[in-house]
Structure formats: C-alpha cells, structure tokens
Amino acid sequence: MRVERIDLIAYGHYRDASLDLSRPRNGLTLVYGPNEAGKSTARRAFLAALFGITARSQDAFFYRPGSLKVGASLSSARRGSLDFVRQGAGVVATGDGQGGPVPPEVLEGFLGGVSRDLYLRLFSVGHDDLRSGSEALLDAEGEIGRLVFGASLGAGSLTGVLRRLDERADRLYKDRGHIQRVPVELKDQRDKMDRAKKLRVRARDWEAKRNAVLEAEQRVKEIEGLLLEARVSHTRMRRMRDAMPLAAQRTERRARLADIGSKGPVASREWAGRARDAQERYERAARERASVAGRKLGLDERLAAVGVADDVMARAALIDGLLRGVDRYDKDRSDLGERGVQLDRAASQLSQLLEQLGLRSDDGRVVDEVALTNVEELAQRHAALQAGMDAASEELAKLQGQIETLERRLADAGAAPDVTALSRAASLAAPELGREDSLVVSREAVRNLESEVQTRSGRLGLAGRSLAEIEAMAIPTAKQLSDEQGRRQEIAARRAQLDREQERLETDIARVDDLVAEILAKPGIPDEDLLRVARSHRDSGWRIAREAIETGRLDADSASAWAKGEAFLGAYEDAVAKADAAADERFVHAADITSLEGHRTRLGELTEALSGLAGRRDTLEADAAAGDELWRDLWEKVGVQAQEPELMVAWREDQQELLGLIGEAATKAAAYRSDSELVANHVSALSSAIARTGNTPDPGGLRHLAAQAGDITADAQAKTQIRRDIETELGKARLSLPERRNAVESQREALGSWHGLWAEALGALRLLASTQPAGALAAVRAYRALPGARREVKGFEVRIAGIERDVANFSQRVAAAAAGIVDRPGAEPLEVVEELGTRLGAAREATTRRETLQVALSEVEDQLRQSDEDLAQASRDLAALRNEAGLGGDVELGEVISRSVEAADARDRLAELESDLVAVGSGLTLREVLAEVDSLDMSGDELAAATGALADAVARLEGDLAQANVTLGQRKGELEAVTDERSAADLEQEAQEHLASAVTHASEYVRTAVAARMLRKVMADYGESHRGPMLARAGDIFSALTKGAFAELVPDVFGENQKLYAKRRNGELLSTGALSDGARDQLYLALRLAGIEYQLEHLEEPVPVVFDDVLVNFDDDRSAAALGVLAGLGHRTQVVLFSHHESLVDAARAALPDGELGVVRLLPRDHDAAAPAASVGYPAGADGETEPASQAVLRALSDASRPLSKAELLASGAIDESSWSRAIRSLVDSGAVRQDGQKRGARYRLET
Amino acid sequence: MVSAAVPSVSSKGKSFLKFLHCADIHLDSPMRGLARYDGAPVEQLRGATRHAFERLVSMAVDEGVAFVVIAGDLYDGDRDDYHTAMFLQRQLRALQDAGISVAVIYGNHDAANEITKRLSLPANTHAFPSDTPGTFVFEDVGVALHGRSYPTRAVTDDLSARYPQPIPGMLNVGVLHTSIDGRPGHDPYAPCTIDGLANRGYQYWALGHVHKRESYQKHGVHIVFPGNLQGRDVGESGSKGATLVEYDDSGIRRLEHRDLQAVRWDRVEVDLQEQASADEALEAVLARLQSLQADHDAGMHAVRVVLRAGPPLSRSWLREADRFEAQLRADAAAGSDRMWLERIELRPTATRSTEVPDEALSAVREALDDVRSGASQQVRAEIVALLDRVRSRFGPDAGQVGDLGGEVLVEDNLSVFLDEVESLLVAELEGDA
C-alpha cells in the first residue's frame, strides 16, 4: 500500500493543505520542514489519517478535537485506490466513492491488518527511537538474542524491560531477604500473632481479678460506716467549742450600745452620712471660689500688656500679593537678557539668506512655489538623462567588442573529418561488445564443466570409462530401486512383527508361570496326586476286601503287603479316611485347582504357538536371502558393486546428474566457438573504418576499437557544433548593432531639449542661465527658508516688549504698599517687599495672642459664677439636715454625726456575732445554740481536748478510706486492663492484613519473576533461530551505512552469552560497547532496517515506513550512504523521511539517482496568525517550479535588505512571470512575506 | 426436658409471635485477605463480628422477639480468649434485660473452644446438651426447641435421627448444626437429608454450619440456613444476617431475612471496554463503587474489583498496575471512608491479537504455550518449583495462600497464571517499543 497524498483539511495550524507523497514510485520521499513549520504535526496527521484521530489529540488547538479533519489518498497493487476523509470517528469516501462511509474492513485491508500500535512500534522510526535504541545496545552488551529479538519487536530497550522486571521482583521478594516486602510482611504477621496470643486472657485469670475487686469494694464500705459515726460526734464538740466565746462577746456588745444612747442625740447611719457629705461640699465650694478670683485678676493684667500694629494689618492683602509676585518679577528680569540674544541670532540668519540670494536688504519678496518645484524636477531629471546616456554608450561599445571577438573565434575553428562510415561500423559492433566480454567467462565455464565431469565420474567409480560408455550404461530403473526398498522394508516389518509376537508369547508364558507358582505357593493347596493315590490305595484295599468277602478268605500276603504289615481292617479304614480327607481337601481348594488346570492348558497353547513362530521366521529369512541374491545380480550386470538400496538411489541420482553435466559441457563448448568467430569479423570491419578517418586502429580488441571509434566520432561532432554555435551568436550580435546606436542617439536628443527648459526655469528665480543644477537647488532651498526667518525675528521683538511692561508695573505696586510704613528711598523693590513681609508677620502674631487671652478670661468668669452658686446650695442643705434631726442652732453638728456612726457600728457588730453563732450551730437556731452553750457542763480546755481527740479519729479513718479506695482503683484497673475488649482480636486482624499483603506481593513476585525468566528464554531461542539471516542482512546494511568502514557483523555463538561483534575492514573485531556513538546509531538503524525487511516479508500488504530525523547525528558521507539505503528500502515499500535539516535536501539530490527522490517542503508557520494557514505545504511539482520560485523570492528579499517591487523581483532573474502569482500569494498567506501597498504600488519585504 | 419461662409476646397485643434464628457468629474471627494500604479504613473494620452481633441484639429488642436461636459456631475454632466470652456475656445479658430468652447449640468450632467449657451463661440462655438430644419448652409462647450440641469437633453421625418426638400443640423447632448432605467448602458433619428432617414432625428446622443463606420448604416444614452473621472474606460476599420468623397457633406465618453485617463483602465487575484512557476508566470504576455504596448503605464495604479491559488500556494498566491501583484506592478513599478495596484484578478481554503476524510477540506466546502444553518440561518444572518455594515461605499459612487471593501460587491454577504472565509480558514489550 502507498500513501499518495495526505490532506490536512483542518488539522493543527493547517487548513486545506496537502502533502503530495506520490513521488517517487521507487525510492525516498523527503518531507523537509524547518523548525516551527509543522513537521511533527504533519507526521501526526499522517498517522491520524491511517489509524484515526486520537480523542485527546495535541493538534486540537485551532479546532476542537471533533472538528479535526484529515484525509488521504491510498493505492495498492491488489486493492486499487481509496480516497477518504476522516473527522471524529467517521471515515467518508471521496473521489470515486464520494460521500459513502468507508467500512473499517476496507481500510484495514489497505493497512494489511497492521494496528496503530504495531505500526508505531515496527514501521515508524524517530530520532528518539534511534537514541534510546543505540543506548540499549550498550546495555545489551551485544547479546545476540536481545538484539535480534529487539530488532524484530521494534523495541527500544529490552534491557530496560528486563531490568524493570528484575528490580520489581527483587523489591518484592528474595529468598533470604530482610527488606523485601514479602518477608517483611510475614515477619510482621508473626510478631502480631505472638502479641495477640500474649494478650488473650484465660478464664481463670479473669475470675481471680474480679474477686479481688469485690473484696476491695467491701473494705471501702466498712470504713465509710465508721467514719460517718466519728464525724457526727466531732461536729457537735466543735460547734460548742466555737459558740462559747461568741456568746460572751454578744453580751458585752449589748452593754456598750446602751451606753452610747445615754450621752446625747443619736441619728441614723444614713443621716450621719448625708450630713458629713453636705459639710464637705460647703468647704470645697469656698476654696474653689477664692482660687478662681485670683486667676481672673492675672488675665486682666496680661491682656492690657498686648500691642497690635493695625496699619500694617490694613494692607495685609496688598503685601501678600506682592510676596506671591516676587518669583515672577525675578524670572522676567532674567528672561529679558536671554530673549535679546535669541533676537540677535534670528536677525543674523535672515541676513545670511538675503546675502545668499544677492539682496542687500529685505524687500519682503516671495517666489512662487510652482517655479521652485519646476527647478527641482528639472535638476533631478538631468541626473537620470545623463545616466541613460552613459549606459547606452557603454552597451554600444560592449556589443562592438563582442562582434570582433566572435569573428576571431570563427576564424580559429577548423573543419571536422567525415565519420559517417565509422559510426555505422561502430553501431553494428556495439551489440556484440558483451559477447566479447563473455568469451572469457564462457571459456572458463566450459573448462570447469569438463573438470566437474571428471571429478564426479571418479566419485561414482566410473573413472576408467569414457563418456559414451557412461551414457550407454543400463542402470536399473527408479522403479526397480523403489521395489527393492519396498521389499526390504516389508522384510523388516515382518521381522519386527515376528519379534513382537514372540515377545508377547514369552510375556504371556512368564505371566501364566507366575500365576501357577502363585497358586502352588498358597498354603493348604493339596498335591494334585494326593487324591488319586489315596483313592487308588483305598480301591486296592477294597479289591482285596471284596475278594475276601466274595471268597470268604483273606489273601494274607496281599493284605499284608497292602497294609504294609499293619492289621488289614484298620489299615483299610485308615485308607478310606485318607481318601475322604483328600477329597474334602480338594473340594475346599476346588477354585484354585480349576484355575491351575486352566493355566496349564493355556501354557501348552502358548508353547505351541511359540514353536509355530520359529517356523515362520525360517521361511522369512529364506525369502530375504533370495531377494538379496537377485539385487546383487542386477548390479553385477552393469559392473557396479551393489550396496543398500538407499545408497544406490543416491548413486543413481548422482549418475543422472553426471549425464546432465556431460550434455551441458558439450553445448557450452559449441557456443563458445561460434561467439569467437563473430567477434573476430567485427574487429576486422571496425579497424578498417578507423584507418579511413586517418587514425591508427587500437590493437586491444573489439571493446577498445569501439571506444576509439566513439572518441573519434564525438570529437568530430563537437567541432561541428562549436562552429554552429559561434555563427549563431555572431548573427544575433550584428542584428542588435543598429538598435544600440539608435539608443545612444535618442538619449542625446533628450539632453538637448532639457537645456532649453532649464534656462527658462532659472529666469523665474532671477538666476543666471549658467547656473548648474546643484547651485539652482541651493537657491530653491534659500527661497523656501526666507519666510520662516522673518517670522522668528518679529516674534522675539514682541515678547521682549511685554516683559519690560511687567517689571515696571511690579515696582509701582511696591511703592504704593510701603508708603507710610517703610521709608527706604532708593532701595530695590525686592528688599522693600521683604521688609513689608516681616512686619506683616509680627502684626498677625500679636493679634492671635490677644484673641487667646480674651477666650481664657471669659471661661474664668463663668467658673466664678458657678462657685458662688455651689456655696449657696451647701448652706441650704446643712440647714435642712438640722431641721430633719430636730437640732437647734447651738448644737455642734460634728459630735452628733460621730455618735450616730459609733452607735450604728455597735449594732452591726452585734448582728454579725449572732450570725456567726447561727453559722457555728450548723443548722441549729440562735436560741438553740445559746441554750446548748448554757447547758454545757465542761470547761473550755476540757472541751478543746475532747474535740481534738475526735478530729484525730476522723483523720485516721479518712486515711484508711483513701487507702482502701486506692486499692479498689488498682484492682479495678487490673480488671479493666484485661477487659480492654478487642486488643487481641484487633492484633489478629492486623496480622491477617500483613498476611494478605504478603500473599499479594508474593503473587506479584512470581508473575514478575516468571515473566523475566520467560523473556530471557524467548530472547535466547529467538536469537538462536533467527540470527543467521537477520544478522547477515543487518551486517550488509551496516556495511553500507558506514561506507564499508565495517565489513560485516560477526556473531560469537560459542561463549556462554552469545555476543555480537562488528568487523572492521582491516579484520579487527569490536564489541558493541567499543563502537563510537555514531557507529552505534548506525548499527541500531541497520538492525531495525533488517527487522523491518523481515517483518515486511510476513505482511500480505506492504505498509509505508516512516523515519523522522534519524540522520541528525550522521556525518555527510554516512548521511549520503543512509539516504541510499533508505531509497533502497523504497524499492520494496514506500519510504518517507521527515527532516528539518535543509542540507539533507541537497545531500539527497546529490546522493540519489534521478527518479529516486521526491521532496516535499513545508514553509515556516506564522505563530501570530489568528486563524490557521491555508496551503502552507507545497510539493515539488513535476517540473519543480513552484517551490524554487518561493525560495527565489525569499532569497532575493533577504539579499536586498529593503522592500522590493514585483518588477525588481522579476528582474532579479530567478523567477518568471508565470510562477509569480502563486509563489507570492503563498508567501504572503503564510506570513513569511509582508506586502505594503496595493497593485502596481505594492512593495514586498521579509516579515521579521 | 427443661422448661423455661419467657415473657409472653402476645401480651403486647399482637396476634402473632416472633423469634430470631441465627448461626455461625464466629466472634472475633478476623477478616481475611485485606492487605492494608494508605487510606484504607483500618479502624472502621475492627471488631466487625462483634458489631454484627450487637446489631442482632438491638434488632431482637426492637422487634420484641420471644426468643433467639443460635444454631452453632458462636466462637471461631480454638481461639481461647476470655475477652470474647465477656463480650458475649454482656450481649446475652442485654437480651436478658429485655426479657428475651436464648437457645444455643454448640457447633464444630465451639466444641474445640475452651470458652465453651468455662463460660457461665446468664439465666436467660440455655445451651443444648452434647451427650444426648434435649428439649427446651417455652410454654408462654407455645414453643418446644429440640437440639443437641457437638461433643467433639468432628461429628459424622446423623444427630437428627435421635431427636425427640414433637410435642403436640406446640410449635416444634429443631436446632441442628449440619451441612445436610454436604455443601462445598464445609466439612460434612452431622449428615442428614432434607426428607429426613421434613419427616421428623417439626414445623421449623433452625440449621447452622453452612455460611450461605439457604431455605427449603417440604411438606410444609421450613428448613433454613440463615447463613453466617458477618462475611469474613470475599468468598462470603453479599447480604449476611439472620432470619426473623413469625408464627402463631397455626404454625409458621412468614420468614424474613434481615441484613445485620457490619462489613458487607462484594465482588464488583466493571466493564471498561468503552473507556479509552486511564482517567475515564478510573472515573467509571469510582462511579460503580459509589452506586454500590448507594445501593447498600449499610456501613462498611470490603470490595473486590474485577476490571475487564482491552488494549491499549489493559496494557498500560498492567504495566503500571501499582500506580493505577494506588490511584484508584486513593480516589475511593477520598470519596468514602467506608470502603476497603480488597483486591483489584485486571482481566484483559483480548490478550491475543489475531490481526497481523507479529513475529516477536508470537514467539513470546509460543514459548508460553509450550509451557502450558508441557512441551517445555524443564521450564514448567522450574516454575512449579518457584511457586512451591514461595508458598513454603508462608509456613503454617501456606495452605490458605490460595484462598487469600494467591491463586496464582497454586500449581493447579498454572494455566491462569501463565495467562497473567503473558499479559504482563506483552504489555511490557509493547509498552517499551
């Protein structure tokens, strides 16, 4: 399958662009895009077109992912062509199948079933792949399996995979590891289980602890009872002890209260408080009034002492205005001088202009602008006319020189010889050159064949025989040989059959023997003759007995002999008994005995079969011997010793080949003779034709003569062609001569008419007719400057007059302000203004001080009024209090107040005492407490002693109780410690969690470890089975990539680890680690290319192979070599190389033959563009014009460093009118070039 | 025959009575197979069997049941810890305080347990004898309970054959710890038949021993395994609890299963074949987990997540399983502190692509096929030896490694194991290329 075109309809920054990948059909398509041109985007678009647009495409920045749109045109030798567009998940046909959906299986068919992943892995090689793959070569240390497998897989680093697997496995588990996760988890699990077991509580332990708690609780209860009793007694004693002194104080206090009441009037505590308060207020008001009166006096005096300058204050606004105008006055005076200098300078410039125009004074004259412009234009036109005149004269002189030179060269060129006959003879001989070359080879081939016939005859034992004899030999036919093989196989099969039968019979006999022996070995099996003997003996006895019964006489001898001397009757009974016993015994073992008989019968049959087998074997051997005899006879007839049929089959095949070789040798010898004669005839004809041209024929043979004839013919044709070229050129030059002369003449006429116009124009400016253009242009400039100079002089004069007015005005205002205040005749206005300012400041300060004093005085007067009011109010309050208490005016108020307070205090103290008594009584009323104290029949000391003793008892019991509670707490704590619920169960749960972790990690470990093991095995096996062809091919490619610096790749397959070495041209072997970085890159590329070729063989439909900047680190030579290798791959399938190195384009043009390279260029992208660019990628068309035109424009603009017009660009010569429109439009659209102005006025410049 | 007084439920004005039937409490038995990870709700998971039992007690009180039947295996094996006993005692007393009687038989696990011999039960709790079948009659509520505790751990006789004749006029309930005629994963103790039980003349058989809930009705007789109260590993997933039985003079009226577990085990399969990226896949799994929790808002969840995914997601997941699983666990923990992801298994839907001959990967697959078929005997022996060696590191726990999620460590599962190795290897190789 080939990708003919990729359409970037809406993709990345592309819009409606196309990549034409259709050329070349066999070779390399190079897609060149400088940085930022969108090379990577184009490469992704290539993948997106073939395999679909990924959901999160990084190219969705101008367009939403669902709006990305990319198309392709595919072709396949098997399947025809397919044009389609992709958007989102949809694939729609374009072209012939317009509009219909493309079924997935159709596209998959074009792709040969290759998935995106597989494609990326195998058929897409990028710079990063090359780097990582090259580094992986170091890691792999040349291990063949890893390299070969890696190349087939397209993998970057199998070493990385292996390392990752190994590290993961080690991290999880090692047999005796301490830090790996499995052992750590297992240790934790066991630790926790051990701790859990320790935390478990046995029933007996728990019950003991619970009983201890119950005992401690009982003890606490007992002590609490005793303590309660002691505390009740102690409380009563303590109450009486505390109440006794309080009761005594109460009595005393009541007596004191009665005493105070007897001394005079007593009021309430509240009245006493108010009276004391009124007295204090009266005294305070009196003190305040005296103080305020003193302050008022002082203020009156200070106000009288303040003096204010009112005349100055009256002119305050005027003086402030002057102070603000000081800076302005100062600046005006400074500006006056500067403006005077500027006025002088402007006046001087005006004088200079007048002088330049030849005017003594300024008459205010102005010259018309039309006249000035007329002079300017005529002056400029004069320069162009003069240049045109010079150029036309030079062209004319050049043409005349050229005609002379051509006439001289034509005279020098001689006439050429006639080579018509020679050409004919050479063309007849040309097809036979190859025949002459092949004569040597043919001769050698004939000799080799004859030698081979001799060798093979000897090998077949036919050395002495002639070729005719060999051909005439009556060799047994192939069928005879095949029959003999069949016969022997049949004999062998029959032998094997007999062997098997014999073995089976022998096995059966052995097995039956074992069964017999087994039965006989059983205890109690009767001897088989026993019954027969016993019966026979019994029957013999019976015959004697019957005879005795019949005859009435016992044959004593027979009886004695039968009974062996025993009494006959007893012996007979004994014999009957034995026979019966034997019969019984046999009955008991009847089954075994039946089996035994069966076995013996079977044994007989088997033995008989065995002897039959021996007979069949004898017959077979006799047949075999007869067959062998026939076989030997057959071969004796042709005089060859018979061997095994297999060998004779091979012998016959060799003999048949020999016959073929004999025939081939004869045919080739005849052909050699015929070719020799033909070549000799052509040598003779060509030699005589050369001699006829006046040359001596070369004696070297037909090829030499043909070359000589070619040289002679070419020489003659070259001479003829040179004369023809000169004559053509001379004709053209002579035709041009009148035209050039006319050009000079017309330039001269134009100059003449200019002079007339010039004189007229100078008159309008009152210039002399002899004035040259440069002088006239200076006068034009002076006329134009004149009005400006006049305006400047006038302006300065007006501004100076204004400033002088302002200065005089300021002086007058100062004099008015100072009149009557500052008397300084002749002083500078500025000094007077300063003096006025100082005085105004002093006057304002005095005014402020006076206002402050007046405010303070007003406040003091208010305070004086308030003090008078307070004094009167206090006097009224005191009078009212006396009335309230019914006191006469003579009673001392202070004494009544003191007595009232003392009485109130005494009453309060009495109430406190009674309250204390109630408190001491702890629940008893005052009366009950006083009664209890009254009833006490104990002294104070005795009471204290009893109370102390009870306190001690309480304290002791409290101590006991605290101790008992501590014990109880401990016991409860011990019980609670064991009832800490789930601790053991929780630990077991944790142990289970560790166990689960260990299991998880162990499972992970075995998976990972076995994966690593399997990978190693696969790599070794794969390397073993594939290394031959793959390494041989990779070696060839590596040699080509390194321009022969390395001859081949050599596998060392005998070491423990099979290694790969690269062999230098001088035979030196280098390990992969010893290669330079560049060579290692090339080795990796060679391995990948070999892998790709190998994989391509296995695909039904070849797919394109894409490389991306893989030659970045190759030097020029090796880049050229690599381009050749890639183009070579391009004969097997389409090959596309993306690169951002422009030099690679030139290198590819130089390295690859015509027709094996196609170049597609991507132009730089405009990052500031608001919308995607259209048509930024242009393929090299059939004539290659479009792209060079764009490049030529860019080059011309770059060289010029200024904007150029279309005419200038066309004049640069590298671009013609027909390519212009398309080239400039694309450059402007892409943002590479900016256009200023429109249509004919348009100028173009490079966008910076 | 023993008589026990129980409060009359009918006095509460209802026309029927209730009792609660549970079994296989396995108090303080740990949850198995939960490997701890950052964010795992460790504390919430503690004491699950106790919490479940507490729920049972609360429910019995709330429902006002007449009595509770526990059909064996209160404890777990030979775990002898009086803490367990004290907890049990406290719970039985709570039932006693609510006036609820309890009838208990001891099962195979209890027979081996020291606590069984030592614990003095509260007055409301009656344990059936182990030497001979016994009967408890709760006259107030018209029920006769017949049962027999296991004298030893392994009981191979049909205990039900010697259970007493039913008492006429009462609801006769047989209490038995058995796997009937055998159940996978359960020792075949006290074998009997459904027909045998149905023909005994009782109205209800309260069975225990089988941890999965099952119930039969034959000739009007209800034969019920309530299942265990709290699942303890992913093999015991789904709803767990007890059976609430309503009855009246005419017999059994209604059975109802009540969910009581503190931690619910679930096995969730998520199909990720539509998801293209790992982020989308994580979102889909989280959504599934959230819906699971919404469906069963019962408390803690322990979940095994099985993901079905095809390439390329399966490859990137396999290659970076640690990272993805940690991410999923972290996300799940951020969404809920009541969910523990027990395991995350990835089942690639298509490990083998048949679209195109990929020489190198085919070599990997062929090598593994050789191990599967036994053609590579030496490698197979090496792998088996490795599995044995690793498993032996687990010492006394080696036997249960397979049950704890280490299936691949068991030689019988070699084919599954090799599938996983293949997936991993292909993912690594394709990922690296």
Cβ contacts (< 8 Å) between B359 and chain A: which residues? 152, 1094-1095, 1098
A1054 confidence band (pLDDT: 50, 70, 90): low
Closest by CA to A416, choosing from A628, A716, A785, A188, is A716
Q: Do A201 and B82 touch (CB under 8 A)?
A: yes
- Residue B341 and residue B390 in one domain: no
A793 confidence band (pLDDT: 50, 70, 90): confident
Average pLDDT over residues A1121-1125: 92
For an interface test with A, the pick among B342, B364, B414, B419 (most A C-beta atoms closer than 10 Å) comes out as B364
For an interface test with A, the pick among B323, B354, B414, B421 (most A C-beta atoms closer than 10 Å) comes out as B421
Is the per-residue pLDDT at A1186 higher than 60? no
- Residue B61 and residue B199 in one domain: yes
Closest by CA to A29, choosing from A7, A11, A45, A5, is A5
3-state helix, strand, coil in chain B (%, to 5): 40, 25, 40
For an interface test with B, the pick among A117, A993, A1021, A1026 (most B C-beta atoms closer than 10 Å) comes out as A993
- Residue B268 and residue B240 in one domain: no
Residues B164-194, buried b or exposed e (16+ Cβ, 10 A)?
Answer: bebbeebbbbbbbbbbbeebeeeeebbbbee
What is d(CA B194, CA B221) in angstroms, rounded to the nearest whole number? 10
Is the per-residue pLDDT at A32 higher than 80? yes
* Residue type for position A716: A
Average pLDDT over residues B223-229: 96
Q: Structurally, how many domains does chain B consist of?
A: 3
pLDDT, residue A1056, reads: 60
Question: Tokens standing for A940?
Answer: 């104070």
- Residue B289 and residue B386 in one domain: no
SS3 A951: helix
At B28, which CATH number? 3.60.21.10
Closest by CA to A1084, choosing from A1119, A1052, A1037, is A1037
What is d(CA A1058, CA A1054) in angstroms, rounded to the nearest whole number? 7
> Which is higher by pLDDT, B148 or A840?
B148
Partner residue opposite B404 with nearest CB, options A55, A990, A999: A999
Q: Do B81 and A201 touch (CB under 8 A)?
A: yes
A741 confidence band (pLDDT: 50, 70, 90): confident
pLDDT, residue A1190, reads: 75
Could you report the per-residue pLDDT of A148-159, keeping only the tens digit for each? 777 777 765 677
Question: Tokens standing for A242?
Answer: 């505390």
Most confident of A312-326, A527-541, A655-669, B228-242: B228-242
- Residue B133 and residue B249 in one domain: yes
Shortest distance between the Cα of B22 and any Cα of chain A, in A, equals: 22
> Which is higher by pLDDT, A789 or B329?
B329
Cβ contacts (< 8 Å) between B421 and chain A: which residues? 1007, 1010-1011, 1014
Handedness of CA A462, A464, A467, A469 (dihedral sign): negative
- Residue B229 and residue B331 in one domain: no
> Which is higher by pLDDT, A124 or A171?
A124
Phi, psi (rounded to 5 degrees) for A309: -85, 95
Pairing of strands B241-248, B17-22: antiparallel
The mean pLDDT value of chain A amounts to: 83
Q: Do B417 and A1006 touch (CB under 8 A)?
A: yes
Q: Do B367 and A1017 touch (CB under 8 A)?
A: yes
A203 confidence band (pLDDT: 50, 70, 90): low
pLDDT, residue A1177, reads: 42
Number of helical H runs and strand E runs in chain A? 34, 18
Contact assessment for residue A1034 and residue A1090, using Cβ atoms and an 8 Å cutoff: yes
Contact assessment for residue A864 and residue A293, using Cβ atoms and an 8 Å cutoff: yes
Shortest distance between the Cα of B9 and any Cα of chain A, in A, equals: 34
- Residue B35 and residue B52 in one domain: yes
pLDDT, residue A175, reads: 56
A178 confidence band (pLDDT: 50, 70, 90): low
A900 confidence band (pLDDT: 50, 70, 90): confident
Partner residue opposite A203 with nearest CB, options B118, B343, B357: B118
Could you report the per-residue pLDDT of A259-317, keeping only the tens digit for each? 887 777 788 888 888 888 888 888 888 888 888 888 888 888 887 777 767 778 888 88
Strand (E) or helix (H) holding A495: helix A478-520
Contact assessment for residue A149 and residue A1022, using Cβ atoms and an 8 Å cutoff: yes
Cβ contacts (< 8 Å) between B386 and chain A: which residues? 1006, 1009-1010
- Residue B381 and residue B423 in one domain: yes
E strand spans, A1033-1142: 1046-1052, 1059-1064, 1069-1071, 1105-1108, 1135-1139
Strand (E) or helix (H) holding A1234: strand A1233-1236
B237 confidence band (pLDDT: 50, 70, 90): very high
Q: Domain ends where: B324, B350, B376?
A: B350
Number of residues written out for chain B: 433
Contact assessment for residue B344 and residue B317, using Cβ atoms and an 8 Å cutoff: no
Q: Do A153 and B30 touch (CB under 8 A)?
A: no
Shortest distance between the Cα of A164 and any Cα of chain B, in A, equals: 9
pTM of the model: 0.50
Question: Chain B: residue nearest A203 by CA?
Answer: B82
Partner residue opposite B408 with nearest CB, options A153, A1007, A1094: A1007
Is the per-residue pLDDT at B352 higher than 70? no
Question: Tokens standing for A654?
Answer: 């060799």
Is the per-residue pLDDT at A1135 higher than 90? yes
Question: Chain A: residue nearest B115 by CA?
Answer: A203
Is the per-residue pLDDT at A1173 higher than 60? no
What is d(CA A440, CA A672) in angstroms, rounded to the nearest whole number? 9
B218 confidence band (pLDDT: 50, 70, 90): very high
- Residue B237 and residue B273 in one domain: no
- Edge-to-edge strands, sheet with B241-248: B125-127, B101-105, B67-71, B17-22, B241-248, B251-259
For an interface test with B, the pick among A1014, A1021, A1087, A1094 (most B C-beta atoms closer than 10 Å) comes out as A1014
A846 confidence band (pLDDT: 50, 70, 90): confident
Q: Do B32 and A1006 touch (CB under 8 A)?
A: no
pLDDT, residue B58, reads: 96
Phi, psi (rounded to 5 degrees) for A493: -65, -40
The number of C-beta contacts closer than 8 angstroms across A and B is 214
Q: Domain ends where: B320, B350, B380?
A: B350
Shortest distance between the Cα of B25 and any Cα of chain A, in A, equals: 15
Question: Chain A: residue nearest B88 by CA?
Answer: A981
B210 confidence band (pLDDT: 50, 70, 90): very high
Q: Domain ends where: B318, B350, B382?
A: B350
A89 confidence band (pLDDT: 50, 70, 90): confident
Shortest distance between the Cα of B361 and any Cα of chain A, in A, equals: 7
Contact assessment for residue A494 and residue A620, using Cβ atoms and an 8 Å cutoff: yes
Q: Do B356 and A114 touch (CB under 8 A)?
A: yes
Q: Do A1017 and B80 touch (CB under 8 A)?
A: no
Could you report the per-residue pLDDT of A207-256, keeping only the tens digit for each? 778 788 888 998 898 888 888 888 888 887 888 888 888 888 888 887 87
> Which is higher by pLDDT, A1215 or A231?
A231
The mean pLDDT value of chain B amounts to: 87
What is d(CA A167, CA A160) in angstroms, rounded to the nearest whole number? 10
Interface confidence, given as ipTM, is: 0.89
pLDDT, residue A165, reads: 86
SS3 B144: strand
Alpha helices in A357-432 (DSSP H): 369-412, 420-429
Cβ contacts (< 8 Å) between A1000 and chain B: which residues? 35, 343, 405-406
Shortest distance between the Cα of B134 and any Cα of chain A, in A, equals: 27
Is the per-residue pLDDT at A977 higher than 80? no
Cβ contacts (< 8 Å) between B90 and chain A: which residues? none
Average pLDDT over residues A93-97: 75
Share of chain A above pLDDT 70, in %: 95
- Residue B297 and residue B255 in one domain: no
Q: Do A149 and B360 touch (CB under 8 A)?
A: yes
Average pLDDT over residues A546-574: 86
A358 confidence band (pLDDT: 50, 70, 90): confident
Average pLDDT over residues A548-561: 85
Q: Do A982 and B36 touch (CB under 8 A)?
A: no
Partner residue opposite B34 with nearest CB, options A189, A201, A996: A996
Shortest distance between the Cα of B263 and any Cα of chain A, in A, equals: 14
Q: Do B82 and A205 touch (CB under 8 A)?
A: yes
Question: Tokens standing for A248?
Answer: 């005594």
pLDDT, residue B52, reads: 95
Cβ contacts (< 8 Å) between A995 and chain B: which residues? 32, 394, 397, 404
> Which is higher by pLDDT, A526 or A447?
A447
What is d(CA A1137, CA A1106) in angstroms, rounded to the nearest whole number? 6
Share of chain A above pLDDT 90, in %: 7
**Domain containing residue B296:** 264-350
Question: Tokens standing for A848?
Answer: 């402020």
- Residue B113 and residue B225 in one domain: yes
- Residue B417 and residue B401 in one domain: yes
Q: Do A999 and B401 touch (CB under 8 A)?
A: yes
Closest by CA to A473, choosing from A740, A339, A659, is A659
Cβ contacts (< 8 Å) between A184 and chain B: which residues? none
